[in-house]
Each structure stands twice: as C-alpha cells, then as structure tokens.
C-alpha cells in the first residue's frame, strides 16, 4: 500500500507518504522558511513473517563532503568524523557500512565549501538505537 497526498495551506505545503501499515513520512515546507521538516513514523514493525527488517531514511545530496561529517557525541560536544578512519588507532575496514555508523543525540551535518546539510533529531537517538552514517559516496546521510 503506497499512499501519497499533498496539502497546500496558507503558510505551509505538506506531502504525506504512507508506505504501509507501519511506515509513513510527512514532509513540510513553510513559507519564508529556510528548512524542511521531515517526520517519519515507524512501528510497530511486523515480525510474524520471520523476515528481519532495517528501516532507514536517507538524505541524498550532491554535497562533496570529502568523507567528513560531524556528529554530537553527548548533546554538547561535536566531533568531526572521517569515513573509514579512527584518530586513536589504525583502523582496518572490515565492515565498510556498519563501521561508519555513529550515535547522534541531537544533530549531524555534512558540508562543502558552499553548502551544508544538517539533520536535527527530535529525540535522543541513542536511546532509540538510531544511528547515522555518511554512506559510501561522500554526500549522503542515512539514519536507521
């Protein structure tokens, strides 16, 4: 079941996408705004079919981040992350995808010389075990 609808109100335009009974997304763009609000809802995830599921949202951009991204570690301190690199030890890439997931409390961003994409989380994502990563092509943010 895929259901899509768009709503244009006086100060906001909203797209609602219902993927199935347990996953949906609402995207809002406000007049005079310089940001997009994305709310995604997942759950309860069906398990009766005995098929494992990982639900993600990916923000694809053409930002040339050079494999660098920035995450908050504890809601106060922001750390620069570099894909497939650890500053305190020699890192051997054994898991190219999961090795680049990091916990995020409130924000993650990627940037180049001219632009920046920042994702602000509405909740502490560590408690929910949702993690972000800069996927293998330098300019995406994916959350699970």
pLDDT band at 85 (very low <50, low <70, confident <90, very high): confident
Q: Strand, helix or coil at 75?
A: coil
**Cα 24 → chain centroid:** 15
Please report whether residue 92 resides in a domain. yes
Please report whether residue 116 resides in a domain. yes
Please report whether residue 77 resides in a domain. yes
Q: Are residues 98 and 35 in the same domain?
A: no
Q: Are residues 81 and 29 in the same domain?
A: no
Which pLDDT does position 144 carry in this prediction?
72
Who's near 81: CB < 8 A, 6+ residues apart? Answer: 68, 69, 70, 71, 100, 102, 134
User: What is the C-alpha separation between 88 and 61, in angstroms, rounded?
Assistant: 30
pLDDT band at 123 (very low <50, low <70, confident <90, very high): low
Residue 81 scores a pLDDT above 90: no
Q: Are residues 14 and 80 in the same domain?
A: no
Q: Strand, helix or coil at 122?
A: coil
Cis check for the bond before 44: say yes or no (omega within 30 of 0): yes
Please report whether residue 23 resides in a domain. yes
Which pLDDT does position 138 carry in this prediction?
55
Q: How many domains does the chain have?
A: 2
Q: Are residues 23 and 80 in the same domain?
A: no
Please report whether residue 7 resides in a domain. yes
Please report whether residue 50 resides in a domain. no
Which pLDDT does position 139 carry in this prediction?
60
Task: Check: CB of residue 128 under 8 Å from CB of residue 104.
Answer: no
Query: What domain range includes position 77?
Result: 56-144
Q: Strand, helix or coil at 110?
A: strand
Q: Are residues 91 and 32 in the same domain?
A: no
User: What is the C-alpha separation between 90 and 101, in angstroms, rounded?
Assistant: 17
User: What is the C-alpha separation between 23 and 74, in angstroms, rounded?
Assistant: 28
Q: Are residues 89 and 23 in the same domain?
A: no
Going from the C-alpha of 90 to that of each of 1, 84, 113, the distances in angstroms are 47, 10, 29
pLDDT band at 127 (very low <50, low <70, confident <90, very high): very low
Please report whether residue 51 resides in a domain. no
Q: Are residues 30 and 66 in the same domain?
A: no
Q: Are residues 32 and 62 in the same domain?
A: no
């Amino acid at each position: 079941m895929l259901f899509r609808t768009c709503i244009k109100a006086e100060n906001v335009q909203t797209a609602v996408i219902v993927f199935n009974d347990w996953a949906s997304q609402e995207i809002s763009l406000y007049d005079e705004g310089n940001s997009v609000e994305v709310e995604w809802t997942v759950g309860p995830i069906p398990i009766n079919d005995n098929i494992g599921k990982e639900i993600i949202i990916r923000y694809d951009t053409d930002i040339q981040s050079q494999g660098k991204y920035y995450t908050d570690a504890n809601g106060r301190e922001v750390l620069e992350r570099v894909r497939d690199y650890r500053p305190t030890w020699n890192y051997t890439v054994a898991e190219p995808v999961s090795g680049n997931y990091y916990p995020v409390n409130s924000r993650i961003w990627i940037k180049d010389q001219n632009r920046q994409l920042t994702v602000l989380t509405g909740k502490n994502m560590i408690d929910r075990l949702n993690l972000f990563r800069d996927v293998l092509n330098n300019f995406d943010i994916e959350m699970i």
